[in-house]
Structure 1
Amino acid sequence: MSSSEAVTVDSTSDRWAPVRELPPSAKLVAKVLDYNDTLTQSQLAEETLLPPRTVRYALTRLEDEGVVDSRFSFSDARKRLYTLSL
């Protein structure tokens, strides 16, 4: 592995540093949001196969770390849309 490849790996791992110490459910939710731009809580529960309560907890932890942004859905104001901000 060349030194330029090592730098690339290091910069990628730094991106995930805020998530590294979080519970596995939060890591899974973050990874799913990384692959999908924006999802609702119910869509995250479907994608991760986690219970809605666990997804809520994971999103709270991710928001506390500042790695997830949320906003109200324009199509349904009762729902929030979540995006990864790493």
Structure 2
Amino acid sequence: MSANASQNTQEQSDRWDPVRELPPSAKLVAKELDHNDRLTQTELAEATLLSTRTIRQAVSRLEAVGAVESRVSFRDARKQLYTLSL
């Protein structure tokens, strides 16, 4: 492995450090947000096949470690949009 590739691998592992000790559901939500710019709880539930309750718990844990940010949707103020902040 080249030094550059090794450095990229190290940077990626450091990026995910806050999520490492979280439950699998939180990791799945983080990965889904990594593949999409921003999603609502409903969209996360559909994409991951997890219940909305599990999504709420996962998002709360991710927010607690600073891995996810939320903001109010401009299209529907009743909904939150979640983005990965790692």
Corresponding residue for 1:5? 5
The answer to whether structure 1 residue 31 and structure 2 residue 31 are counterparts is: yes
Q: Distance between the aligned counterparts of 1:4 and 1:79, measured in 2?
A: 41
Deviations 1:51-86 (A, max 9, x none): 110000000000000110100011111100000000
Corresponding residue for 2:17? 17
The normalised TM-score by structure 1 is 0.97
Runs of 4+ in 1 over 6 A off after TM superposition: none
Select between 3-12 and 29-38 the one with higher mean Cα deviation: 3-12
Structure 2 unpaired stretches of 5+: none
Corresponding residue for 1:75? 75
Structure 1 unpaired stretches of 5+: none
Q: Distance between the aligned counterparts of 1:52 and 1:25, measured in 2?
A: 11
Cα RMSD of the aligned pairs, angstroms, is 0.6
What is the aligned residue count?
86
Cα distance, 1:25 vs structure 2: 0.2
Identity fraction in percent: 65
